[in-house]
Amino acid sequence: MPLDFSPSREPMTTFSLAGMTDVVLLLLIFFLLTSSFIPQMGIQVNLPQVDSSSPVSEQSITVSLSKDGTYYVAGSPVPKARLVSELRSIRTDQSFLILRADQQASIGQFASVASAAQALDMRVLVATERTGRQQ
């Protein structure tokens, strides 16, 4: 059975996209598995380092303290005098207040947030980083 090498056969003009689809699907899976799913907060603070931590599963209000003494409630800057009223206005049924305080923040700033939470009958949870983990 001889092979037909004659020029009368036309070259294939269609291109199968099945292989390309497989490659794109594999790339999508790779990027999904290697991307970081840790939410990054908008306010940059250096959280204290601890040996263990526990995740918060309930909804809560986040208050951030920067090292220069600025208070942020849910990402918006708030003066110290309006801290309780701002927390009261955005609170729905949350029972926890997560405090993201910079390591350089003073204990007085922490106390003012804790007293605002106590006035609203909320528990204060302090956000920390695990020891050895980089931001």
What separation in angstroms does the CA of 21 have from each of 11, 24, 26?
23, 5, 9
The total domain count for the chain is: 1
pLDDT at position 25: 92
The helix or strand, by DSSP H or E, that contains position 62, with its residue range, turns out to be strand 60-65
Q: Is residue 72 part of a domain?
A: yes
Residues of the domain holding 111: 49-130
Q: Is residue 85 part of a domain?
A: yes
Strands of 96-101's sheet in order across: 76-78, 71-73, 60-65, 96-101, 123-126
Q: Is residue 55 part of a domain?
A: yes
Give CA–CA dist 47/125, Å, rounded.
13
Is pTM, for the whole model, over 0.85? no
Give CA–CA dist 84/90, Å, rounded.
10
Q: Is residue 87 part of a domain?
A: yes
User: Between 75 and 2, where is the model more confident?
Assistant: 75
- What mean pLDDT is reported for the chain? 78
Q: Is residue 66 part of a domain?
A: yes
* Average pLDDT of span 9-24: 79
In this model, does residue 3 exceed pLDDT 60?
yes
